[in-house]
A and B are shown apart, each in its own frame.
Chain A
């Protein structure tokens, strides 16, 4: 069974700093997707970034980028020039490519951006 582990329950950084959130996963699959979801206080789940396992190039979305290390089964999220609006829970998630495409979520990292 797949598992997703986020080892940092909570983090705080100053506004404008760069922060990296860690995620490791366990799978025997070769084809899968990895995601980072953001959940602000509103509770809405928002997709931040997505990485296809077959792509070697790390995904980027504006200030958000990932460091995908397939052999190490590591998928960290880097937030550059952090903003107060980045304050949220961040969930790492794994999805293997099959009929149902279920997503397995980590327990989350609570990120506080301090003014």
Chain B
């Protein structure tokens, strides 16, 4: 059981470039989440999904897109990267129903210059 995996671990982007952050979980969890963590701050929710084919915006969705074609995968797409998107990105998953613990991936550190 690998849990929640994220790739890449680190990435440097130039302004205006695009990229996809990958997130995969092997626990058959229904709920998946994308957070960003800016320096010295807590996590802020970007997008979430309650099941395959269903996604919704979180607190800070601008500049990002997601898709959920399978239960396992929840990629986060950055279009036209901006310096304000420099952050650490965490993916998390949860079984759902009465099981409330979120399992986090190791994070992706993204720098936009």
Contact = CB atoms under 8 A, between A and B. Distances in A.
B51 to A, nearest CB: 11
B74 interface: no
B79 interface: no
Contacts of B104: 44-45
Interface residues of B, number: 23
B100 A102 contact: no
Nearest to A95: B100
A93 B100 CA distance: 12
Name the interface size band of chain A.
20 to 34
> Is chain B's binding surface mostly helix, strand, loop or mixed?
strand
Interface string A43-61: 1110100100000000000
Contact of A102 (B40, B48, B90, B96): B48
B58 A102 contact: yes
Contacts of A102: 33, 45, 48, 58
B53 interface: no
Contact of B31 (A33, A50, A93, A101): A101
A101 B106 CA distance: 21
Interface of A: 4, 33, 42-45, 47, 50, 91, 93, 95, 99-103, 105-108
Given A44-B107, A101-B96, A102-B33, 14 more contacts: A33-B100, A43-B106, A47-B102, A50-B100, A93-B42, A99-B50, A100-B48, A100-B56, A102-B45, A102-B48, A103-B33, A103-B45, A103-B102, A107-B41
Interface of B: 31, 33, 40-45, 48, 50, 56, 58, 88, 90, 92, 94, 96, 100-102, 104, 106-107
